[in-house]
């Protein structure tokens, strides 16, 4: 009898945990997608476009995309609506996963993909950062193709309704009730000026991450198939690069082979001024406004040539 009682109590406890997990997960899910402020609110707008906003130009990339491209200036220059979908610390794995969803919900005419020197490098953090997509996986099962690159056990872990929101509670609370500086159609400028000397940098030759190479080529293929005009841009940095990285060599070579427009600001003398930067990899608001006008003007020139 004692053994039977213990077994019943054990299964009763498991049922209690399941109900608790389900209930808390539902609450977290509700408030996650209700956020008005912060990075997750911008990500939801990017993926779901809840207001059915017409997005003709989409900016994609990591923090340099998020901080360097002012949609208002780009829209005014090109006469097209623009949204900045840049997301801090993400790689081409993330950008390709986003594009898989976006191209089915709404198709931008133009995508500007901002790349960095380590874009295709094999870095474990790139896989860890994919966890930000977990809250969307139940709505968009296609995301599992990317999430399973992080770990083959992610789908099992996600049986827990709480798991997708691990470590997000404070940000969910802030995103719902604490006013934060509003983004400008996804754009979040940095303020202040970089006070240090120009950085010099040399890149060793390294092997690329095959998953990232595959994601990059798939990204290009989607744009080609969907007739989306793609511009790949290396935006300014306060760095004197003495060579080009293995990642960028591959990207440049691929763009040349496929006839994709590549615009580079590497070692651009007009941007090697510390007053345009918040820190050496990120423009400040002044630099971002200058760059946004320039890149929009370059795209306008290319469009007029076609």
Assigned domain for 28 exists: no
Report pLDDT for 181: 65
CATH of the domain at 158: 3.40.50.1110
pLDDT at residue 161 in the model: 95
Between residues 4 and 228, which one has the greater pLDDT?
228
| Residues in contact with 177: Cβ distance below 8 Å, sequence separation at least 6, in sequence order | none
Which pLDDT score, from 0 to 100, does residue 6 have? 79
Range of the domain at 185: 33-305
Give domain status of residue 90, yes or no. yes
pLDDT in tens, 67-107: 999 999 999 999 999 999 999 999 999 999 999 999 988 88
Q: Measuring CA to CA, which residue among 278, 204, 264 is closest to residue 234?
A: 264
Structural domain includes residue 159: yes
Calculate what percentage of the chain has a pLDDT beyond 90: 81
Q: What is the mean pLDDT of residues 287-297?
A: 98
The predicted model scores a pTM of 0.94
**For residues 155 and 144, is the Cβ–Cβ distance under 8 A?**
yes
pLDDT in the model for residue 306: 67
Position 15 in a domain:
no
Asked if residue 278 lies in contact with residue 192, where contact means CB atoms within 8 angstroms, the answer is yes
pLDDT at res. 38: 85
In this structure, the strands spanning 199-201 and 239-241 are parallel
pLDDT at 3 exceeding the cut of 90: no
39 domain residue, yes or no:
yes
For residue 182, is pLDDT > 90? no
CA distance 288 to 190: 9
The verdict on residue 23 lying in a domain is: no
Lowest-pLDDT choice from 29-33, 104-108, 232-236, 286-290: 104-108
Q: Does the structure show a pLDDT above 60 at 242?
A: yes
Query: Is 24 a domain residue?
Result: no
Cα(121)–Cα(245) distance, integer angstroms: 9
Give how many domains the chain has, as a whole number.
Answer: 1
User: pLDDT (tens digit, 9 = 90+) per residue, 200-217?
Assistant: 999 999 999 999 999 999
Two structure tokens written together for 158: 């996600």
Per the domain annotation, does 7 fall within a domain? Answer: no
């Amino acid at each position: 009898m004692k053994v039977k009682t213990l077994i019943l109590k054990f299964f009763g406890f498991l049922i209690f945990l399941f109900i608790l997990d389900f209930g808390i997960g539902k609450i977290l899910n509700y408030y996650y997608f209700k956020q008005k402020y912060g990075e997750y609110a911008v990500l939801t707008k990017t993926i779901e476009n809840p207001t059915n906003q017409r997005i003709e130009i989409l900016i994609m990339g990591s923090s340099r995309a998020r901080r360097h491209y002012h949609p208002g200036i780009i829209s005014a220059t090109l006469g097209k609506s623009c949204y900045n979908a840049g997301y801090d610390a993400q790689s081409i794995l993330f950008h390709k996963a986003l594009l898989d969803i976006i191209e089915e919900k709404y198709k931008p005419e133009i995508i500007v993909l901002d790349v960095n020197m380590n874009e295709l490098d094999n870095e474990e953090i790139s896989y860890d950062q994919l966890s930000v997509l977990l809250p969307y996986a139940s709505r968009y099962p296609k995301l599992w193709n990317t999430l399973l690159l992080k770990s083959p056990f992610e789908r099992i872990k996600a049986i827990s309704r709480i798991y997708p929101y691990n470590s997000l509670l404070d940000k969910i609370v802030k995103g719902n009730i604490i006013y934060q500086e509003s983004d400008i159609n996804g754009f979040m400028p940095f303020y202040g000026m970089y006070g240090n000397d120009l950085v010099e940098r040399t890149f060793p030759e390294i092997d690329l991450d095959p998953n990232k190479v595959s994601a990059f080529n798939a990204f290009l293929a989607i744009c080609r198939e969907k007739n989306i005009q793609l511009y790949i841009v290396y935006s300014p940095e306060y760095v004197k690069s003495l060579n080009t990285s293995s990642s960028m060599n591959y990207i440049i070579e691929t763009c040349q082979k496929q006839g994709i427009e590549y615009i580079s600001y590497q070692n651009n003398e007009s941007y090697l001024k510390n007053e345009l930067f918040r820190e050496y990899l990120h423009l400040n608001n002044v630099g971002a406004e200058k760059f946004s006008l320039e890149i929009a003007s370059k795209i306008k020139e290319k469009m007029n040539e076609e």
